Every structure is written in C-alpha cells, then in structure tokens.
C-alpha cells in the first residue's frame, strides 16, 4: 500500500509549483485582510478622537492596500481554479494506464461500470485532497492561527472564549462532515451500481423490447433508487442541515458574543470603539477556516478510503517484470491437461493431450460448454493457473513462466466479440502501429473488407462499438487487426461465425494462403466444416 501511495503522490508532482503559488497568494490575501481590519480599527478610533491627520493618513494606506488586495485576489483565484481544473487529469491517466496493464482475468471478476466509476469518480475524491485540498487546509490553518493571534492582541479573555466556542463548533462541524462523507461514499457506490445496471439493460435492449420487459427493468432501477439511493440522500441532507446550521452559528452568533464582551471592556475604558469593530470582524473570519479545516480532514480520510478502493488497479507484479523470461521463436506447443476446474467444481478438458508444431493448422471442434474457449484462454494464460492441472509448454518451457508482453509478441488471439472503438477503420486495424500501405491493403483483401473500403474508404469513422457497420464487418476488422501483426502463433475463435457461407469460404481461402506465406501456426475454433480441408489435424472435445 505504501508503494501505491507513493505512486499516487507522484502523479501530482507537476502541480507542486501551482500549489505553492496558490498557497502564497491566498495566504498573502488573508494577511492583507487582517491588516485592513487593523487599519479600519485605527480609522474608527481616529474618527472618535477627531484625529484628522491619522484618519487621512490611514485612508491612503487602506486605498493602496485595496488595490493590492484586488490584484492578489484575482491572482489567487486564477491559480486555485487552475489547480482545481488540472488536479484530477494526472490521476485519471495513471489509473487508466494501470488498469490496462492488469491481467485479463482481473476483468472477469469486476464490472466495467464499477471500473469506470472508480476511475472517474473516486479519482476526483482523491484529487480533492491531494490537489487543492492540501493547499486550502494549510491556508485556513494559517488564517485561523493569525486571526487568534490578532484577537489576543486586542483582548486575551475574548480570544479564549471565542477559541473555546470555536473548537466546540469545530467538533460539531467535523462530526457532521464525517457523517456526510460516510454517506456520500455509500451514495457513490450505489451510483456506480446504478450505472452498471443501466449499461447492462441498454446492452440488452433488443431482448428487452421483443420480450416487452421495459417495465421490469424500469422497476429494477426505480427500486434501487427508492430503497437505496433516496434513504442515503435523506441522511446526507440531515447532516448537511446540521453542518450548515453550525456554520451559521459561527458566522453570526460568535461575532455578536465577541461584540458584547468587547462592549463591556469599552464601557470600562479598557478597549477602544474601533476595537469592537475589529473583534467583530476577526470573529467573523473564523467561519471559513473552521469549515474548511474540518472538510479537509474528512476529505483526506475519504481520499485514503478511495485510494484503498483503487489500489487494486495497480499491478504490483510490474515491479518483478524482469524476473519473467521471454519465449524463444515458436517451434512446438505441448499441451497436456488432467483437467480444468471451475469454482462450482465442474471440470472440463479432462485427459486432453496434443502437440502443435510450427506451420501446422489445428482445428478444435466440440459442443458448447466442453471447453473450446477455455482451451484458447489457457494458451493465452488468460485464466487462473491454479484452476488448471497439467502442462502447457512453448518449446519445452511453461507458458506461465513467460513475461506477458514478450509472450504476446509471439502469440495473439482474435475475440468472438469484436472490439470496435470510435475512430477510423485504419485506426481500428493499426492501433497507431506502423504498417505499410501494402500490408494494410493485403490484410483488407484477406479479411474480405474490399467492398466496405471501396464504399466507405479506409478513413471512414466507425461509431461507438461499430454500430454503423454490420456484425460481419466488425468481426473482419477484428480479424484484420490481429492478422496484420503476423504473430508466430495465432488463435482464431469462431472467426466466421458472423459471415455468410460464401464470404466465409472466400475468407478461409485467403487466410490459408496468408498463414502459409508468413509461416504462422494457427489454432482455429469452429463449429462448422469450412476449415476441414485446410487443417493439419482436428481435435474433438
């Protein structure tokens, strides 16, 4: 955890300069504010004593101070706003980069909506403290201290009474702030689950519509809002009311108490009339420091809690990446499985043994649920190794001993569910890697994308999830993305499932030529018989 915390802190290193300038300008403004209160006290006393020289002399000082005050105010607000705008960007980039480096099996145990919520929402809570939160805490602590020192200058007894009452109010505000933070975190978790529920329902909109289940899913969302979100928000509202009520006491009642005490001293001739105004103003200055210091303490606790929530995003195995080995060029795959077991104790791939040699094409067939996709995931090390009993060797070395990045430079797998992001066809295939125009043209022909490219162009922009093209076109773009990289070993999981028979046969013909041309070894999972004439061996599960 300490190592992760240091990585979090490192994301804010570029903000240090802005934080320092923000602190300096805001503290300067606060000190100038106290100085103005002192000068106004002198002016009032000069008026009472009819001391015109002192009056006009201090008025000049105040006017000059006001000009500086305005300039510092604009400057401090600019840097504070800049800090607010920028504080979360670095953390979002760090968390997103970290999650992309997690093992694929991690994503099987967590919902995408939860990941997105943690990256976007939890990061803002962490940044609230690590960005401007630290600055505001230090500023208000300095302001609180300076204000009381100045109050002591006027009257120690008044300062002590106000200090006692301020600390009591601080205790109440802090308690209410804690409760608000507690329920806000709970509300955040409910919001994340709501996001996930909404995303899931929208992904299944076709089934919802044809089965006429709009009300069922609408009621599910309504129940979560009514039974979980609204009660939590009512609690937040209650504690917010207590919080604001206490703040009003600090801002309105404490200054009146200070004036009453100061008036008694003025009546006894031990304080001046101007001192009443000064004590009143100084006491009124305490509202913001008490609230901000209390909020900052709670924000820090919330930030720590959020850091604990997102720390699993960081892959600590990266620290030991040099200990893993890199695979040699492919020569032979040895697969020997006793079984693969799921959490419900169901076992598949029992007593399965085969060898794949360089240049061969292996066809895996079998009914649904017998383990075809699990076999492919095993070869990609995308499953928990402890669930598998057996040996999988690449050139007589266990694939689980390899560095993942080095291993994936030798072996790639196409996905059944094509991944298409908003961008051009070219971008979706190349992913910013350098391939020649001839390589791109070749793979477009192999994957039978000629017609799409002729009609739309290679720079045609695909919408989110490729909703502006057909399922078969999406699948072929996915295949093109993998094949153009010419891995030494390629796994194709149902590569023709979204293609009609004529298009599938053309693709398989050109694929076979492409695999032979670049001496790629392949393992193909398919229900159909289209690949039978091109394969070296067939394995039935």
Query: Residue 359 maps to which CATH number?
Result: 3.40.50.300
455 and 414 belong to one structural domain: yes
Task: Give mean pLDDT, residues 501-515.
Answer: 92
Last residue of a domain, one of 281, 313, 345: 313
Non-local CB neighbours of 163 within 8 Å, separated by 6+ positions: 148
Q: Is residue 489 a contact partner of residue 330, using CB atoms and an 8 Å limit?
A: yes
Percent of the chain at pLDDT above 90?
44
pLDDT band at 109 (very low <50, low <70, confident <90, very high): low
Q: Is residue 254 a contact partner of residue 25, using CB atoms and an 8 Å limit?
A: no
Residue with tokens 């505001």: 136
Please state at what angle helix 287-310 crosses helix 156-203, rounded to 10 degrees: 40
Per residue in 210-262, pLDDT (tens digit) is 778 889 889 989 998 999 999 999 999 999 998 888 888 888 889 999 999 99
Does residue 159 sit within a domain? yes
Q: What is the pLDDT of residue 1?
A: 54
pLDDT for 390 beyond 80: yes
3-state secondary structure of 73: helix
DSSP 165-204: HHHHHHHHHHHHHHHHHHHHHHHHHHHHHHHHHHHHHHHT
Per residue in 163-176, pLDDT (tens digit) is 999 888 888 888 88
421 and 488 belong to one structural domain: yes
290 and 402 belong to one structural domain: no
260 and 400 belong to one structural domain: no
279 and 350 belong to one structural domain: no
Q: What is the pLDDT of residue 70?
A: 93
Q: Using CA atoms of 522, 523, 526, 532 in order, give the dihedral in degrees to the nearest 10.
A: 60
3-state secondary structure of 398: strand
Task: Give mean pLDDT, residues 313-335.
Answer: 71
Task: Give mean pLDDT, residues 372-388.
Answer: 85
pLDDT for 476 beyond 90: yes
pLDDT band at 314 (very low <50, low <70, confident <90, very high): low
**How far is the C-alpha of 245 from the C-alpha of 272, rounded, in Å?**
32
DSSP 224-278: HIIIIIHHHHHHHHHHHHHHHHHHHIIIIIHHHHHHHHHHHHHHTTSS-HHHHHH
DSSP 75-124: HHHHHHHHHHHHTTHHHHHHHHHHHHTS-GGGGGSS-HHHHHHIIIIIHH
272 and 405 belong to one structural domain: no
402 and 469 belong to one structural domain: yes
**How far is the C-alpha of 156 from the C-alpha of 518, rounded, in Å?**
88
Per residue in 27-84, pLDDT (tens digit) is 999 999 999 999 999 889 888 888 888 888 888 888 999 999 999 999 999 998 888 8
Strands 388-394, 332-341: parallel, antiparallel or unpaired by DSSP? Answer: antiparallel
Residue with tokens 């076999």: 375
**How far is the C-alpha of 364 from the C-alpha of 368, rounded, in Å?**
12
Task: Give mean pLDDT, residues 466-487.
Answer: 93
Q: What is the pLDDT of residue 403?
A: 85
Q: What is the pLDDT of residue 320?
A: 46
**How far is the C-alpha of 147 from the C-alpha of 137, rounded, in Å?**
15
Does residue 89 sit within a domain? yes
The domain spanning residue 100 has which CATH number?
1.20.1560.10
Last residue of a domain, one of 280, 313, 346: 313
pLDDT for 321 beyond 60: no
Does residue 483 sit within a domain? yes
pLDDT for 319 beyond 50: no
Q: What is the pLDDT of residue 441?
A: 95
Per residue in 488-504, pLDDT (tens digit) is 999 999 898 888 888 99
Does residue 294 sit within a domain? yes
382 and 517 belong to one structural domain: yes
**How far is the C-alpha of 323 from the C-alpha of 312, rounded, in Å?**
21
- Tell me the torsion sign for CA atoms 427, 431, 436, 442: negative
> Which parts of 335-470 fold into alpha helices (H)?
372-379, 404-407, 425-430, 437-446, 450-456
Number of Cα atoms under 13 Å in the Cβ half of residue 336: 8
Percent of the chain at pLDDT above 70?
96
Q: What is the pLDDT of residue 151?
A: 92
26 and 114 belong to one structural domain: yes
Where is 57: in which H helix or E strand?
A: helix 52-86
Q: What is the CA radius of gyration of the chain?
A: 34
Q: What is the pLDDT of residue 315?
A: 55
Does residue 322 sit within a domain? no
Q: What is the pLDDT of residue 357?
A: 93
pLDDT for 416 beyond 60: yes
The whole-model pTM stands at 0.66
Does residue 324 sit within a domain? no
266 and 127 belong to one structural domain: yes
Tokens of 404: 């993942």
Domain count, the chain: 2
Task: State the chain's mean pLDDT as an integer.
Answer: 87
Per residue in 131-179, pLDDT (tens digit) is 888 999 999 999 999 999 999 999 999 999 999 998 888 888 888 888 8
* Burial category of 29 from C-beta neighbours within 10 Å (exposed 0-12, middle 13-18, buried 19 and up): buried
pLDDT for 269 beyond 50: yes
337 φ, ψ (degrees, to nearest 5): -120, 125
pLDDT for 302 beyond 70: yes
Does residue 320 sit within a domain? no
Does residue 327 sit within a domain? no
* Burial category of 283 from C-beta neighbours within 10 Å (exposed 0-12, middle 13-18, buried 19 and up): buried
pLDDT band at 324 (very low <50, low <70, confident <90, very high): low
68 and 216 belong to one structural domain: yes
Range(s) of the domain holding residue 383: 332-540
**How far is the C-alpha of 83 from the C-alpha of 413, rounded, in Å?**
43
**How far is the C-alpha of 139 from the C-alpha of 280, rounded, in Å?**
21
Last residue of a domain, one of 279, 313, 347: 313
Where is 461: in which H helix or E strand?
A: strand 461-462
228 and 364 belong to one structural domain: no
Who has greater pLDDT, 138 or 529?
Answer: 138
């Amino acid at each position: 955890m300490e190592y992760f915390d240091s990585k979090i802190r490192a994301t804010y290193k570029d903000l240090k300069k802005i934080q320092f300038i923000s602190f300096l300008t805001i503290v300067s403004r606060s000190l100038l504010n106290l100085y103005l209160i002192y000068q106004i006290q002198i002016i009032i006393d000069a008026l009472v004593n009819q001391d015109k020289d002192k009056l006009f002399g201090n008025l000049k000082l105040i006017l000059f101070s006001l000009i500086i005050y305005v300039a510092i105010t604009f400057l401090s607000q600019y840097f504070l706003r800049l800090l607010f705008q920028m504080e979360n960007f670095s953390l979002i980039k760090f968390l997103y980069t970290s999650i992309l480096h997690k093992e694929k099996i991690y994503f099987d145990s967590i919902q995408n909506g939860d990941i997105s919520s943690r990256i976007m929402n939890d990061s803002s809570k962490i940044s609230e403290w690590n960005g401007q939160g630290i600055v505001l805490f230090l500023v208000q602590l300095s302001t609180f201290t300076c204000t009381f020192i100045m109050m002591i200058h006027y009257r120690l007894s008044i300062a002590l009474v106000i200090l006692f009452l301020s600390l009591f109010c601080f205790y109440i505000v802090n308690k209410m702030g804690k409760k608000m933070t507690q329920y806000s975190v709970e509300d955040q978790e409910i919001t994340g689950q709501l996001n996930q529920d909404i995303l899931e329902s929208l992904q299944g909109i076709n089934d919802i519509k044809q089965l006429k289940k709009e009300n069922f899913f609408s009621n599910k969302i309504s129940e979560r809002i009514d039974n979980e979100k609204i009660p939590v928000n009512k609690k937040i509202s209650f504690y917010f009311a207590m919080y604001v009520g206490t703040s009003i006491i600090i801002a309105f009642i404490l200054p009146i108490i200070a004036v009453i005490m100061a008036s008694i001293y003025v009546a006894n001739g031990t304080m001046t009339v101007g001192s009443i105004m000064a004590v009143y103003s100084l006491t009124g200055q305490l509202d913001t420091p008490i609230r901000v210091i209390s909020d900052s303490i709670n924000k820090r606790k919330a930030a720590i809690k959020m850091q604990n929530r997102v720390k699993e995003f960081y892959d600590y195995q990266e620290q030991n990446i040099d200990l893993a080995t890199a695979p040699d060029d492919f020569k032979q795959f040895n697969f020997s499985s006793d079984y693969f077991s799921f959490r419900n104790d169901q076992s598949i791939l029992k007593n399965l043994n085969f060898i794949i040699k360089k240049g061969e094409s292996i066809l895996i067939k079998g009914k649904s649920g017998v383990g075809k996709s699990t076999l492919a995931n095993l070869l990609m090390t995308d499953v928990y190794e402890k669930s598998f009993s057996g040996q999988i060797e690449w050139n007589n070395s266990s694939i689980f001993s390899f560095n993942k990045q080095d291993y994936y430079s030798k072996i790639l797998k196409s996905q059944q569910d094509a991944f298409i992001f908003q961008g051009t066809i070219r971008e979706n295939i190349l992913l910013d890697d350098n391939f020649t125009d001839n390589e791109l043209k070749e793979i477009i022909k192999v994957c039978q994308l000629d017609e799409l490219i002729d009609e739309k162009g290679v720079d045609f922009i695909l919408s989110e999830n490729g909703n502006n093209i057909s399922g078969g076109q999406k699948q072929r773009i996915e295949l093109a993305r993998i094949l153009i990289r010419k891995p030494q070993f390629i796994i194709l999981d149902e590569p023709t499932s979204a293609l009609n028979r004529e298009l599938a046969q053309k693709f398989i013909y050109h694929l076979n030529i492409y695999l032979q041309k670049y001496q790629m070894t392949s393992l193909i999972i398919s229900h159909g018989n289209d690949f039978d004439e091109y394969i070296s061996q067939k394995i039935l599960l």
